[in-house]
């Protein structure tokens, strides 16, 4: 049986719009390693992402520089369970304009189809993924960092993932 597709989630710029508070988002102060960060999160994102995962049979996974801290600081504030994490230790840009996360994502997916919600992906990332031997089908969804994740982004992911068919029996997010 083929493994389930993935829904890869960035935090900053996707779940946490950057630059200003967006209507419907709540402000939180998060302290990490003695540094205080301000994040703006929308409670509805968790329920919408869980519904998308259930409907499509996809596994929600963090692909963020927050790494495991996303499970501690972000997930509970938007109603998500603890999720698997794409490890980014030592992530550095590989080429001009390419995200430092892209090689780590390529190594993590192991041929599984995936949708990646991120605000900092471009043509270099797409080319790298298209040419990587461990990467199968994928859809990069560029999110405007000023507004964050929208229903249109979720609908686009749902439409794309619908061709893989949900596996209702094991459609538990993050598994």
The domain segmentation of the chain, as residue ranges, is: 6-170
Instruction: Select the more confidently predicted residue: 102 or 173.
Output: 102
Q: What is the CATH number of domain 6-170?
A: 3.40.50
List pLDDT tens digits, range 62-99: 999 999 999 999 999 999 999 999 999 876 656 678 89
Q: Residue 88 in contact with residue 112, Cβ under 8 Å?
A: no
List pLDDT tens digits, range 21-56: 778 899 999 998 899 999 999 999 999 999 999 999
Work out whether the CA dihedral 81, 137, 63, 38 comes out positive or negative. Answer: negative
pTM: 0.90
Q: Residue 118 in contact with residue 14, Cβ under 8 Å?
A: yes
Angle between helices 102-109 and 123-131 (to 10 degrees): 30
pLDDT (0 to 100) of residue 174 = 52
Distance CA 140, CA 165 (A): 19
Q: Residue 155 in contact with residue 128, Cβ under 8 Å?
A: no
Average pLDDT, the chain: 90
Q: Who's near 20: CB < 8 A, 6+ residues apart?
A: 146
pLDDT (0 to 100) of residue 48 = 98
Q: Residue 157 in contact with residue 7, Cβ under 8 Å?
A: yes
Mean pLDDT of 106-134: 95
With vertex at residue 23, the alpha carbon angle to CA 22 and CA 25, rounded to the nearest 5 degrees, is 70
pLDDT (0 to 100) of residue 91 = 61
Q: Residue 142 in contact with residue 121, Cβ under 8 Å?
A: yes
Angle between helices 44-56 and 151-161 (to 10 degrees): 10
* 47: helix, strand or coil: helix
> pLDDT-derived band of residue 113, with 50, 70 and 90 as boundaries?
very high
pLDDT (0 to 100) of residue 161 = 96
Distance CA 62, CA 117 (A): 10
């Amino acid at each position: 049986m083929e493994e389930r597709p993935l829904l890869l989630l960035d935090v900053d710029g996707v779940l946490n719009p950057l630059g200003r508070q967006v209507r419907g988002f709540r402000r939180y102060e998060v302290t990490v390693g003695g540094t205080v960060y301000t994040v703006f999160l929308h409670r509805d994102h968790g329920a919408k992402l869980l519904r998308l995962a259930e409907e499509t049979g996809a596994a929600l996974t963090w692909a963020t520089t927050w790494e495991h801290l996303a499970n501690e600081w972000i997930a509970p504030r938007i109603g998500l369970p603890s999720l698997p994490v794409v490890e980014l230790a030592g992530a550095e840009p590989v080429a001009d304009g390419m995200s430092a996360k892209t090689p780590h994502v390529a190594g993590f997916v192991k041929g599984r189809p995936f949708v990646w919600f991120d605000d900092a992906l471009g043509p270099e990332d797409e080319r790298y993924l298209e040419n990587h031997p461990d990467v199968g089908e994928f859809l990069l969804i560029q999110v405007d960092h000023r507004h964050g994740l929208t229903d249109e982004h979720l609908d686009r992911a749902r439409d794309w993932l619908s061709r893989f068919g949900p596996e209702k029996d094991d459609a538990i997010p993050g598994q």
